[in-house]
A = this chain, B = another copy of it.
Amino acid sequence: MKIPKALESVIEGFERLPGIGPKSAQRLGFYLLHVPQSDLDDFAYALTNLKKNTKMCTICSNIGTTDICDVCDDQQRDRSLVCVVEDALDVLAFERSDKFKGVYHVLHGVIDPLNSIGPDDIFIPQLVSRLREKDSVISEIIVATNPTMEGEATAMYIVREVRNKNEDVKITRIGRGLPVGADIEYADEVTLGRALEGRSEY
């Protein structure tokens, strides 16, 4: 028994998505056969219009509907503080925490030599030119890339790059240590090491 071409195309579409394996893709494809045509049309319409109806902020490259994103447009935000994140989803996470009143810079990726992604393939040059602007008010850059191999390497690169270009700007890295609710007993050694290094005084 061969899977019909039309179904195969949908399954292939799902398989290309991150975190969806061949089995799940097949399941989703067969599931959609039982969904009303109007739902399929709506989903298809949403997909084709996704990129047409979203814009990247010309300042911080965050995702929005206008040339300047909501955060950069907000006059209440502290423009001297820039939080550098890997992805627009990370902006959402920080905004949910409601603890950050500065602005962002979205890299849209990390330096990843294995997948041939260099510093110029992500939005690092844009960060540097933001710093070099004549009327720049940036006084601190918080590097908030993920604490992974690639995230740390990207952070190191940004630190070097920023130091080279502008000596007055303070550069910080988000705190690394035990997440709230964690158990020291089960923490891995690297995290524990970071938690010791990053200890704070009472």
List residues of A whose CB falls within 8 A of some B CB.
Answer: 1-7, 9-10, 12-13, 16-19, 24, 26-34, 37, 39-55, 62-65, 69-71, 87-89, 91-92, 95, 108-109
Provide 25 A-B residue pairs closer than 8 Å at the C-beta atoms, listed in order of the A residue: A1-B71, A1-B91, A4-B53, A4-B54, A5-B65, A7-B50, A9-B45, A10-B47, A13-B47, A16-B39, A19-B24, A19-B28, A26-B89, A29-B50, A30-B87, A30-B88, A32-B50, A33-B50, A33-B54, A33-B88, A34-B109, A41-B48, A44-B44, A44-B48, A47-B47
Task: Note all chain B residues with C-beta closer than 8 A to A49.
Answer: 6, 9
In the complex, what's the smallest C-beta–C-beta distance from A24 to chain B, in angstroms?
7
| A51-B28 in contact given A5-B65, A7-B63, A46-B6 (Cβ < 8 Å) | no
Contact status B13-A19, CB under 8 Å: no
Task: Note all chain B residues with C-beta closer than 8 A to A29.
Answer: 50
Contact status B37-A51, CB under 8 Å: yes
Q: What is the oligomeric copy number?
A: 2
- Per the bound structure, the CA–CA distance linking A13 and B51 in Å amounts to 15
User: Which of B9, B62, B87, B108 touches A46 (beta carbons < 8 Å)?
Assistant: B9
Interface of A is mostly: helix
- Per the bound structure, the CA–CA distance linking A55 and B43 in Å amounts to 21
- Per the bound structure, the CA–CA distance linking A69 and B37 in Å amounts to 22
- Per the bound structure, the CA–CA distance linking A13 and B41 in Å amounts to 10
Contact status A18-B31, CB under 8 Å: yes
Q: Known pairs A19-B27, A26-B92, A32-B50. 14 more at Cβ < 8 A?
A: A1-B69, A1-B91, A1-B92, A5-B65, A9-B49, A9-B50, A13-B43, A30-B87, A32-B47, A34-B109, A40-B50, A41-B47, A43-B44, A44-B47
Write the chain B residue with the least CB distance to A23.
B89
Task: Note all chain B residues with C-beta closer than 8 A to A12.
Answer: 46
